[in-house]
Structure 1
Amino acid sequence: MPRTSLRSGPPSPATAAGVLVLLLAAAVTGCGSAEQAGAPEQAVADPAPSGPATDRVGALFVEDTGGARVCTASVVHSPGRNLLITAAHCAAPEGVPLDDLVFAPGYRNGLTPHGTWPVTAVTVDPAWEGGQDEDDDVAFLTVGPLDGRQVEDEVGSGAFAAGLGTGQEVTVTGYPNAGEAPITCRTRTSARSATQQRFDCAGFTDGTSGSPWVTDAGQVIGVIGGYQAGGASPDTSYSVAFDAHVADLYRRAAAD
């Protein structure tokens, strides 16, 4: 199922209706490309079990869980205990942050066991705002509290990590739009280029952009996005390489 990258162009107002148009026209998703079609023993994603590591991953919606489901996001540790990570093309298509996003960690079958958390700020690189370069396809989202609690107090968090390189064993969990529960895959990262990394695992279809790549030590070292907005078919997925540039963006978001 081909997926086109989001178009560059002058900013336009971000509304729920605009999200629906983008979903239909540009397939804002997290597929990967089958660059090794026919390769033996390719990994295939499985249904993700409930549990602490999975419940800190959630679905992004517009306005509420009855609105458009956009992508996947996850909680990363921050001093404010209120920070998410996803792909920039999910939270700021065409460079413009979306209004009224909400995060539903652990979302399953229409249920929100950990509540829905309003996104109050979107942090992307200025270069993404200006031109949507695939090497800047990372976003950090600040969410507001619920009943006096921060999202990290509710579900825990992964640890943002940069500079680890490729060849890492990771678990990737995300929300395909075609289903009502997350999928997961354990796989190994490899390099696509000096600025992009990849993994091979079938099943990461529309909706899984922003899915975190988590090491056994709980470090988030990638999110589905980057090259081809994450990939052109479900078998291979991509991420921006988390380097010093992404680390600077994280520190800026965590300090706000």
Structure 2
Amino acid sequence: MNTRAKRLAIPLGGAVAASALLGASLSTTAEAAPDRKTRVLAASQSKAKAVAGRWTSARLKSATRYTSGAAASGKFKVSKKASADGGAGRIGPTSQSAPSGGRSKNVNLPRTIGRVFFEVGGKAYYCSATSVHGQFRNLVATAGHCVYNTEANRPVDNFVFIPGYYQGKAPWGIYVGAQYHTHYDFDVYEDYDRDYAFVNVYNGVKREGNKWVDIGRLGDNVGGQGFAWNQPIGKKSFVFGYPTGSHPDGDRPYTGETPKFCYGQTYAGPAVPEFKVEEHVAIKCAFTPGSSGGPFLLQYSSAKRTGYLNGVVSLVIDSDGNQRFDRTTTPYFDGETASIYKYASNRWTGSLLRR
């Protein structure tokens, strides 16, 4: 992927913000890697605790799927085939012994998937996401547009991840976002060929009476998917998410309360100029908005409920103009993606409750 050439061709569309490294607290530092942007979500324990408190069951139920930068319709040219920028690599899943994630048709659903909830302009929204392996078992992968508001050129507010979400319930706790890491080109140029994000979250919390209780690290509670990069296009993949919205013709086949999946072979997807997409990877899939950020998983084992994260849902597309979404696309995960992932996977967070 010729990132530098795209940067020169695309006018500046976003604000540049100082990045942050996470220690005992989140302090602003100079940007260390030219292809990574790091931004703070909740920089202290007290702020994180306040974020968790906002997401009552009623507030969760009031959230709507995030459709800003999530869908496109029309007849599109085929994008350039994304290519590896180095050797292929994989990092294995986090081992875990969490409860079942349920079933959809004949497939055991991953325990790692859930919804991310956040606010834009005070309104509650959600996307899909998954826990992914990290050194400190505190890492979530989702779409870049689910953490960074491209219209306001700033991060979303009050971000949390709820694995296994169902009807306002958080069966494995609420995990408040501490900081996220995106590609420079998404943050600054709003280039959807880099529409992914890795979020470090604090330990999960649950309410017991009037008290918050720390329930431990995300990866210990639900596990984490592996990670793969520079993989050849054309492999079979599962895609999971919480599709909710209607098709352009108004039909609404999904409730959004339970995860769904698609399965098929990836290929070079449509080029979508509206989102600066030139090198997306696609799968035939009728997902609707709400699925943004859901994982593309290679070598998914239904028995183990794990595979290798090799993409996240970026766009749902009506590719032939018949008012029905028929394609789901992801950015290609290359060596630059791996570099951002590896940086994020080594950031510590800890508890949001004072000890």
Deviation at 1:201, TM superposition (A): 1.3
* In the alignment, structure 1 residue 197 sits paired with structure 2 residue 197: no
Instruction: Report if aligned partners of 1:140, 1:253 keep a CA contact under 8 Å in 2.
Output: yes
The amino acid across from 1:149 in the alignment is G
Letter aligned with residue 191 of structure 1: A
Which is strand-richer, 1 or 2?
Answer: 2
Identify which of 97, 101, 116 aligns with 2:174.
Answer: 116
Q: Which amino acid letter does the alignment assign opposite residue 223 of structure 1?
A: V
Structure 1 residue 57: deviation in Å?
0.5
Distance, in Å, in 1 between the alignment partners of 2:221 and 2:68 is: 28
Instruction: Name which of 310, 315, 328 aligns with 1:221.
Output: 310
Question: Residue in 2 aligned with 1:141?
Answer: 199
Q: How many angstroms apart in 2 are the aligned matches of 1:213 and 1:187?
A: 11
Per-residue CA deviation, residues 64-119 of structure 1 (Å, 9 max, x unaligned), is: xxx72321110110101100111101111215222211111011222221111111
Give matches, 1:156-235, under 5 Å.
156-178=223-245, 179=255, 180-192=257-269, 195-202=279-286, 204-217=287-300, 218-225=307-314, 229-232=315-318, 234-235=325-326
Could you list the per-position Cα deviations for residues 151-189 of structure 1 after superposition, in whole angstroms to 9, with x for gaps in the alignment? Answer: 010001110110112111111110123422211122221
Pair 106,252 (structure 1): closer, same or farther in 2 beyond 3 Å = same
Matched-pair contact (CA < 8 Å) for 1:8–1:131: yes
- In the alignment, does 2:283 pair up with 1:243? no
Judged with a 3 Å threshold, the aligned counterparts in structure 2 of structure 1 residues 29 and 131 are, in CA distance, closer, same or farther, namely: closer
Deviation at 1:51, TM superposition (A): 8.9
**Residue type of the partner of 2:309?**
V
Match of 1:70 in 2: 126
One of 117, 120, 145 as aligned partner of 1:89:
145
Match 2:165 to one of 107, 111, 115: 107
CA separation in 2, counterparts of 1:159 and 1:219?
A: 4
Structure (1/2) with the larger helix percentage: 1
Shift of the alpha carbon at 1:150?
0.7
**Equivalent residue pairs, number:** 225
Does the CA contact (< 8 Å) of 1:32 and 1:236 recur in 2? no
Higher relative contact order (CA 8 A, sep 6+): 1
Deviation digits for residues 198-240 of structure 1 (CA, Å, limit 9, x no counterpart): 00011x1111111101122400111111xxx453562101111
Question: Which one has the largest radius of gyration?
Answer: 2
> 1:35-74, aligned counterparts within 5 Å?
48=104, 53-62=109-118, 68-74=124-130
Q: Write out per-residue CA displacement over residues 23-71 of structure 1, whole angstroms, 9 at most, x where no aligned residue.
A: 89x82365576869xxxxxxxxxx83799742211101127xxx72321
> Do the aligned residues in 2 keep the contact of 1:11 with 1:96 (CA within 8 Å)?
no
Deviation at 1:249, TM superposition (A): 1.0
Where does structure 1 lack aligned partners over 5 or more consecutive residues?
1-6, 17-22, 37-46
Which amino acid in the other structure matches residue 144 of structure 2? A
Partners of 2:244 and 2:202 in 1: how far apart? 25
TM-score by length of 1: 0.77
Aligned residue type for 1:231: I
1:125 to 1:77, Cα distance in 2 relative to 1, 3 A: same
Larger deviation: 205-214 or 91-100? 91-100
Greater mean deviation of Cα atoms: 124-133 or 26-35: 26-35
